[in-house]
Structure 1
Amino acid sequence: MTMFKYRIRNILLLLLVVLACSCASTIKVREANTTVPEQYRGQSIDTVNSALVNWKNFFSDVHLIALIDTALVNNQELNIFLQQMAVAKNEIKARKGEYLPFLNFGASAEVEKVGEFTRKGAIEKNLPVRESEAFPEPLSNYTLGLTASWELDVWKKLRNSKKAAVMDYLATVEGKNFMVTNLVAEIADAYYELVALDNQLAIIEQNLEIQQNALHIVRLQKQAARATELAVKRFEAEVLKNISGKYGIKQQIIETENRINFLLGRQPSQIDRASGNFMESVVDALSAGIPAQLLSNRPDIRKAEFELGAAKLDVKVARANFYPSFGLKAGVGLEAFKPKFLTSTPESLLYSLAGDVVGPLINRNAIKAEYNSSNVRQLQAVFEYEKTILNAYLEVVNGLSNIENLKKNYEFKNQQVDALTKSIEISNKLFQSARADYMEVLLTQRDALESKIELVETKKEQLKARVVVFRALGGGWK
């Protein structure tokens, strides 16, 4: 056997040993369960879905639409997330560049003086380069050339890494969409809170007028000896209580306005709003579609899906670390100890070509640990994906039920307000004719005020519940 064949055989045997040692056991991870019921409870099977409606068409209040438009441009948290998207996009370019050849340009200059009583020094001292040129002392060296390196992506480690970066970027896109839908819902929630507070403040001021009139009558009755000082003080206390409550609501209005201003990314300022027709706001019906549409409409579900895809690719990348990597290196350039010799070719020409195979053989604990961790992270992504789907379905079910119950609640609350509003006038007449005592008047006014406040709260909750379902269905980001 010739020496060449002997070396080839040894190289092949070494490669087989490396490949055998590179084998890693595959960890089986179950697939995610994405099954959902065919329909929502109490809903018909209909693919018409309100989530597909543009949010500008979903809301009818022009002031609210203007606020959302401003927030989508100026909200700091959203803009921060947009920068994260840019980082994720640049990561794709970086991963893509890793499996392409690298070409570098280089130039160098150095000076070296070695001792004469050394092997290299003796050669430089006694060996002339040409008859007219001896080695200079100290010896200079000038290099100019190109170098190239390329890792052959045999096991698709680099390509899978790039695909994982793409998945991560798509996950950030869906994360941005999810942030947008939450931002739209949060502004709508705060806006309805604000107009509801305006209506509550108006109700308290109207009630104060009624109570002050009643207080005036009680004072007149006391002067006529038809009422006591106790009645006067009780009416005064009720008036003062509602005046105090009025300032509490004013503070809530300021805080709610500033919460909206914060979401809009601006300094505290007046929030334009339409509060006068709040109680006449119509709560339009929503089309929930079918649960399967959540998988494509909900940005958080799509985000979890892309994160799961990235986690699966990370497992493949971690597994590829067990296998040897193949690399090629090449270089071409000019080298001489004087600049004037750089152009003297072929004497100054240099070139190189090398290939290498590097693989883990002993002490692979770090690689095994990373591979096991990648599988664990993949399993976590599976659970996260399933949890997100389940949470989305339950949010829609709870929201639809809430809308229906609030509708019935509002109907009975409205009847209660009508009855108590009429009872105020009746109690005042009975009190003036001495057929009812002052406590009945006070309690009637108090109950009427509380019922009106509760009716405003119920209307607010109706509007907010509609927004909650719109967001839960995956609307608000289109």
Structure 2
Amino acid sequence: MPAAYATSINSNTDSINITWETCFSDPLLTALIDTALNNNFDVLSMLQRVEAARAEILFAKGRMLPTVDAGISAGVIRLGEYSADWAGNEGSQYVNGEMMTQRIPDYYLGFSASWEADIWGKLKNQKKAAYSRYLSSVEGSNWVVTSLIAEISSIYYELLSLDNQLEIIRETIQIQENALEIVKIQKRTGTANELAVKQFEGQLLNTKNMERALYKEIISTENIINFLLGRFPQPIERSPALFSNEFPEGLAPGIPSTLLQRRPDIREAEFELMAAKADVASAKAAFLPSLNVTGDIGFNAFDPSYLIRTPESIAYGLLGGLTAPLINRSAIKAEFKQANAYQLDALYNYHKTILNGYVEVANEMVNLDNLDEMYAFKSEEVEALNQSIDISTRLFRTGRANYLEVLLAQQNALEAKLDLIDTRKQQYLALTKIYKALGGGWYK
């Protein structure tokens, strides 16, 4: 990876230990995030997938150990009249002196065991793959948490932006209503005409329509946050005055190589690559002979009264053998080729995830730089246009400016104020994006 990011922000300071509580200092926002981490359905579902991956480790570990089963059985065998067993035993006696019959009962009580010796590491690699996928699922859940925190923060700042826009719209409505009253008075005194009145009325109605549209958008945005918090629609407690505060200092990106350790999606891809590598080794071992050992020990008798007598009723057996595929190995070959293909796919995905992480950080750092300057310029523009409203209104009252100049001043000021709020919103959105791009938020 490159040694540093192409940005004017100092990247020598590392923010690897940043947490979402320190990054997002608004207590109302942190309360929403905390609720979402406990109730969000995506997070809850991801935690269950982690538990499923943990169970896969236990399954793979269990396959490496012998299996021991306890059993009890009872049955009867009827020997054929001309079978070798009956022909050779007809007229024989049991140990208790009874004559042997063609119907021979059989009772068994004991244990059986089987074990595959992992001489080529096939089972060991299956365990490695399961463990790597478990770690991958953990990192995946961390990435879900990070993405959720960033999404809630972004929508929260969007909501604050709408609140501030609504406040500006209402202030503008008050200004336009005052201007309308002035022009009505001037019409009655003969210094203005009906056209001017209608122009001011049209502008006022358009602004009121913007107010209603903003109110509708605020309700929809609140409902999106409620959904992410796993609850039914309700008002979202928030502090619109946050936009008036000084913008917080941005996060220092550190050196690019730290992304390998702190971005959960990169670590997730890394563990998937490790799992794919273990799958290839396991598939390769399937071509080699496997050693299987089976055995059993227990009590076996023709009569239940003799079943637990020792050592006469004790029976046992032990068998070990090597088996290797010789003919029709197409299924094993196909599994091996599939494992190889998945490994290359995991490798490419790992490289792509690393590149994506670097690009995201680099883009957002440049974006923060530009937005700081844009906000400063836009603030000066708003200040100038606010003064233009006062100047044009005074000139209009004295007849030295026409109503179109007043309308234009009001419209330009409104647009500039809304643009200023939007720029502040973009700054906060860039903050949440750089926070996510740096991989923070999943640790507490």
Residue 256 of structure 1 and its aligned partner are, at CA, apart by 1.2
Instruction: Work out whether 1:89 is the aligned partner of 2:49.
Output: no
Instruction: Work out whether 1:370 is the aligned partner of 2:340.
Output: no
Instruction: Work out whether 1:71 is the aligned partner of 2:75.
Output: no
Matches within 5 A, 1:234-273: 234-273=199-238
Whether the 8 Å CA contact 1:108–1:142 is kept in 2: the answer is yes
Q: Distance in 2 between matches of 1:281 and 1:448?
A: 22
Q: Distance in 1 between matches of 2:100 and 2:40?
A: 70
Larger mean CA deviation between 53-62 and 394-403 belongs to 53-62
Q: Distance in 2 between matches of 1:281 and 1:189?
A: 18
Q: Distance in 2 between matches of 1:463 and 1:183?
A: 16
Q: CA 1:220–1:333 in 2, change beyond 3 Å: closer, same or farther?
A: same
Say what the alpha-carbon RMSD is for the aligned residues: 1.7
Whether the 8 Å CA contact 1:51–1:476 is kept in 2: the answer is no
Q: Distance in 2 between matches of 1:124 and 1:416?
A: 114
Q: Distance in 2 between matches of 1:384 and 1:194?
A: 35
Q: Distance in 2 between matches of 1:253 and 1:424?
A: 28
State the SS of the aligned residue for 1:100.
coil
* Alignment-derived partner of residue 308 in structure 2: 343
State the SS of the aligned residue for 1:126.
coil
* Alignment-derived partner of residue 21 in structure 2: 56
Please list every run of 5 or more consecutive structure 2 residues that lacks an aligned counterpart in the other structure: none
Q: Deviations over 1:437-470 (max 9, x none)?
A: 2222112111111111110010011111112112
Q: Distance in 1 between matches of 2:91 and 2:217?
A: 95
State the SS of the aligned residue for 1:323.
coil
Instruction: Work out whether 1:153 is the aligned partner of 2:90.
Output: no
Q: Distance in 1 between matches of 2:370 and 2:269?
A: 32
State the SS of the aligned residue for 1:53.
coil
Q: What code does the residue aligned with 1:165 have? A: A
Q: What code does the residue aligned with 1:320 have? A: A
Q: Distance in 1 between matches of 2:249 and 2:191?
A: 53
Q: Distance in 1 between matches of 2:47 and 2:88?
A: 64
Q: Distance in 2 between matches of 1:340 and 1:377?
A: 60
Q: Distance in 1 between matches of 2:242 and 2:329?
A: 71
Instruction: Work out whether 1:194 is the aligned partner of 2:159.
Output: yes
Matches within 5 A, 1:123-134: 126-130=91-95, 132-134=97-99
* Alignment-derived partner of residue 368 in structure 2: 403
Please list every run of 5 or more consecutive structure 1 residues that lacks an aligned counterpart in the other structure: 1-35
Residue 245 of structure 1 and its aligned partner are, at CA, apart by 1.1
Matches within 5 A, 1:213-292: 213-292=178-257
State the SS of the aligned residue for 1:50.
coil
Q: CA 1:361–1:439 in 2, change beyond 3 Å: closer, same or farther?
A: same
Q: Deviations over 1:343-383 (max 9, x none)?
A: 23333221100011111101111111111111111111111
* Alignment-derived partner of residue 331 in structure 1: 296
Q: What code does the residue aligned with 2:75 have? A: E
Residue 251 of structure 1 and its aligned partner are, at CA, apart by 1.3
State the SS of the aligned residue for 2:247.
coil
* Alignment-derived partner of residue 100 in structure 1: 65
* Alignment-derived partner of residue 321 in structure 2: 356
* Alignment-derived partner of residue 381 in structure 1: 346
Instruction: Work out whether 1:163 is the aligned partner of 2:98.
Output: no
Larger mean CA deviation between 282-291 and 83-92 belongs to 282-291
Q: What code does the residue aligned with 1:413 have? A: K
State the SS of the aligned residue for 1:51.
coil
* Alignment-derived partner of residue 182 in structure 1: 147
Instruction: Work out whether 1:307 is the aligned partner of 2:278.
Output: no
Q: Deviations over 1:217-269 (max 9, x none)?
A: 12222222222222222211111111111111111111111111111111111
* Alignment-derived partner of residue 426 in structure 1: 391
State the SS of the aligned residue for 1:155.
coil
State the SS of the aligned residue for 1:52.
coil
* Alignment-derived partner of residue 262 in structure 2: 297
% of aligned pairs identical?
47
Q: What code does the residue aligned with 2:94 have? A: V
Residue 124 of structure 1 and its aligned partner are, at CA, apart by 6.5
Q: Distance in 1 between matches of 2:173 and 2:121?
A: 77
Q: Distance in 1 between matches of 2:168 and 2:309?
A: 98
Q: What code does the residue aligned with 2:304 have? A: P
Q: CA 1:182–1:435 in 2, change beyond 3 Å: closer, same or farther?
A: same
Whether the 8 Å CA contact 2:5–2:11 is kept in 1: the answer is no
1:207 to 169, 172, 185: 172
Whether the 8 Å CA contact 1:45–1:290 is kept in 2: the answer is no
Q: Size of the alignment, in residue pairs?
A: 443
* Alignment-derived partner of residue 3 in structure 1: none
Q: Distance in 2 between matches of 1:199 and 1:42?
A: 31
Q: Distance in 1 between matches of 2:205 and 2:88?
A: 109
Instruction: Work out whether 1:40 is the aligned partner of 2:38.
Output: no
Larger mean CA deviation between 168-177 and 139-148 belongs to 139-148
Q: CA 1:420–1:153 in 2, change beyond 3 Å: closer, same or farther?
A: same
